[in-house]
Amino acid sequence: MEKSTWCSLPASKAQNQISQSKVDPSLFSKGNGNTFIVLHVYVDDILVASANMELITELKMFLDNTFKIKNRGPLGYFLGIEEKSSTDDLNICQRKYVLEILEETGFLGCKPASTPMAQNLKLNHDGTLPDDHTSYRRLVGKLLYLTTTRLDIAYVIQQLSQFVDAPTNHHLTAAHRVLRYIKQSPGQGLFYPVSTNLHLKVFSNLDWANCSETRKSITGYCVFLGFALISWRSKKQATVSRSSSKAEYRGLADTVCEVQWLRYLLHDMQVTLTKPTTIFCDSKSAVATAENHLFHERTKHIDIDCCVVWEKLSKG
């Protein structure tokens, strides 16, 4: 398990032969092997991680000599995210953040709900407009940040965020349902075991023509590094697809782009992937299109997406 710590620094740049990641401007690294150290900068805070604690100490001394910093010690609570690590695993959650949301909204003593959204609920613009829109927008914004560690509410928050301009009483009721759901397990988060294989596995799925008003589809995927969940998304597609095959393939193309970005990021962090990334998709037509580099009539409108997926597939 890598040791990690964090500190605060003024808005300045330290050069000290540290290279910046090309795929994540806030990520910096130096050295390799046992001398590898990585830094993640957020405004005036910085996370430092390395397998060698002496390197962390030396870097902090250098930063403190260059400009005074506050040494916050081992990582425990950072930007609303709680971290607990041991020699065998790492756990992160937002329990304190959840309890703050529940207290602010008056739902601290509410009855918990077993699901984040009512079954078969379809949100639209029907309903009565509330007197105050700002409370709904503020709540959805807070819940959006909670999806940093809560995959289970990503879909419903994606649905609720579409109506921040003109929310109705139905949207507010749905948002309150999410509060009752997170009340059930405020400490739920992510678990990262130390002993895991370095193999990227991706699950891609799609809800075709989900939106009752625009008939746009919802793309969803989750990415695992071994047994650890490292990336996920639920997002409405930008265009309307006339068939589920086209929608599935557009979702697959978005997934492939995310995988490529993650592979670049892992390379910057000196993580060696020994196997090609495995992508699971339940659409036979999308899989058949990915394996066929000769485009035909049914795929001429998504030929760019076809090129993206087929190129990465052909290169392994």
Q: Strand pairing of 228-236 and 218-225?
A: antiparallel
The pLDDT of residue 71 is 84
Q: How confident is the model at residue 209 (pLDDT cuts 50, 70, 90)?
A: low
d(CA 55, CA 66): 17
- DSSP assignments along 291-313, one per residue: H--S--GGGGGGHHHHHHHHHHH
Mean pLDDT of the chain: 83
- Whether 3-75 and 196-314 share one fold: the answer is no
Q: What is the mean pLDDT of residues 100-108?
A: 94
Whether 300 has a pLDDT exceeding 60, the answer reads: no
Better-predicted residue by pLDDT, 143 or 246 = 143
What type of residue sits at position 236? K
Q: How confident is the model at residue 229 (pLDDT cuts 50, 70, 90)?
A: very high
Q: For the chain, which residues make up each domain, given as ranges? A: 3-75, 93-184, 196-314
The pLDDT of residue 236 is 84
Whether 114 has a pLDDT exceeding 80, the answer reads: yes
- What is the percent of the chain where pLDDT is above 70? 85
Q: What is the mean pLDDT of residues 145-157?
A: 93
d(CA 36, CA 25): 18
- Burial class from Cβ neighbours inside 10 Å (0-12, 13-18, 19+) for residue 105 reads middle
Apex CA 274: angle with CA 24 and CA 233, to 5°? 45
Q: What is the mean pLDDT of residues 117-141?
A: 85
What are 254-291's pLDDT values in tens digits? Answer: 888 899 999 999 999 888 888 899 989 887 777 777 77
Mention every residue, 6+ apart, whose C-beta is less than 8 A from residue 37.
29, 30, 31, 48, 49, 50, 52, 55, 56, 59
Better-predicted residue by pLDDT, 45 or 7 = 45
Whether 4 has a pLDDT exceeding 70, the answer reads: no
Whether 311 has a pLDDT exceeding 70, the answer reads: no
The pLDDT of residue 13 is 43
The pLDDT of residue 12 is 44
Q: How confident is the model at residue 201 (pLDDT cuts 50, 70, 90)?
A: very high
Better-predicted residue by pLDDT, 12 or 23 = 23
- In sequence order, the β-bridge partners of residue 46 are 7, 41
Q: What is the mean pLDDT of residues 101-112?
A: 93
C-beta of residue 231 within 8 angstroms of C-beta of residue 239: no
Helix 134-146 with 95-105: angle, nearest 10 deg: 170
Whether 293 has a pLDDT exceeding 60, the answer reads: no
Better-predicted residue by pLDDT, 304 or 210 = 210
Domain 196-314 class, CATH top level? alpha beta
Whether 140 has a pLDDT exceeding 60, the answer reads: yes
Domain 3-75 class, CATH top level? alpha beta
Q: What is the mean pLDDT of residues 106-117?
A: 92
Whether 22 has a pLDDT exceeding 80, the answer reads: yes
